[in-house]
Amino acid sequence: MRLPDLEAWAMFAAVVEHRSFTDAAKALSISKATVSKAVTRLEQHLETSLFNRTSRRLALTESGKRLAAHAARILEEGQAAEEAARQDTAELSGTIRLGAPMTFGLLRIAPLIAEFAKLHPAVDVDLHLSDARIDMVEMGLDATLRIADMPDSSLRARRLGDVKLHVIASPSYLAERGRPTHPSDLGAHDCLCYSNAPTPDVWRFSGPGQQNVVIQVRARITVNSGDAMLPALKAGIGIARLPDFIVSDGLASGELEEVLVDWRPSPLGLHLVTPPSRLRPARVEALLDYITRHHGC
């Protein structure tokens, strides 16, 4: 039985993460030649090339792409095992890479990161904010927050709570176009749609007597950021369906009004998503526990 070359797998993962042999060597505090020899050794054992190398560019081959996630897990689990052995005697340290939706991340997660950083001065946090669907394994994220219905996947998802959706418009729009009282009335209205939704112009409602209604709306403006809808909403361009954390201030100030209050869009789940491995560094577990307790969803 031949033991796997775990050191070579870990160095391959580091090169993938840093997109450079030189930068991977610096991160690992070893020579570039050591990293290069380890990757070459792995390629010879696997009998396949992992990188296409030129003087200007380093790119994964198809085999490299298939194996990169496995290598990342090997490195991650090795680091997690070492940190688990140290966590009783040492303070948390190292880098955490976390993803979150743009507006939710700015309003709810960034303040928690600041608080967590004060509590753990030896921990660095790399926060990636985006409303687009991302491949967290490919991006090397330790965890990400998602506001969506989660499809089946190899990722591990923990539901932290519900995100309430509101159907809203400005008083000026409602004065000019009238106030819808049933979801079917939306067919006569202009709507603002969120392009990152699976079906941006298909809105689902639950109403009195457990009725369920599905409506296809006319998208006057489609945009990939809920925040970007606010100027058009306040200008009276149309009706939108947006989460509480985006519209709560506008509703409180009277700049926006809720419509169809008896017909609620199904809430979205706030999920904490992590890679398949159950082993995580203590610093990651600490941040995820902190977010779970304080997210304010």
pLDDT of the residue at 117: 94
Tell me the C-alpha distance between 147 and 131, whole Å. Answer: 9
Across 212-217, average pLDDT: 91
Fill in the amino acid letter for 82.
E
* Residue 54 reports pLDDT greater than 80: no
pLDDT of the residue at 210: 79
pLDDT of the residue at 110: 94
- In terms of Cα–Cα distance, which of 140, 159, 52 is closest to 96? 140
Tell me the C-alpha distance between 122 and 129, whole Å. Answer: 22
pLDDT of the residue at 74: 82
pLDDT of the residue at 153: 57
> pTM of the entire structure?
0.66
Across 60-69, average pLDDT: 89
Tokens of 205: 């409602």
Confidence of residue 294 (pLDDT cuts 50, 70, 90): confident
* Residues ≥6 apart with Cβ < 8 Å to 214: 202, 203, 204, 205
pLDDT of the residue at 53: 79
* Residue 63 reports pLDDT greater than 60: yes
Three-state DSSP at 263 gives coil
pLDDT of the residue at 156: 78
The mean-pLDDT minimum among 60-74, 97-111, 142-156 falls in: 142-156
- Say which residue, 152 or 204, is predicted with more confidence: 204
Across 56-77, average pLDDT: 85
Which helix (H) or strand (E) is 162 found in, with range? strand 156-163
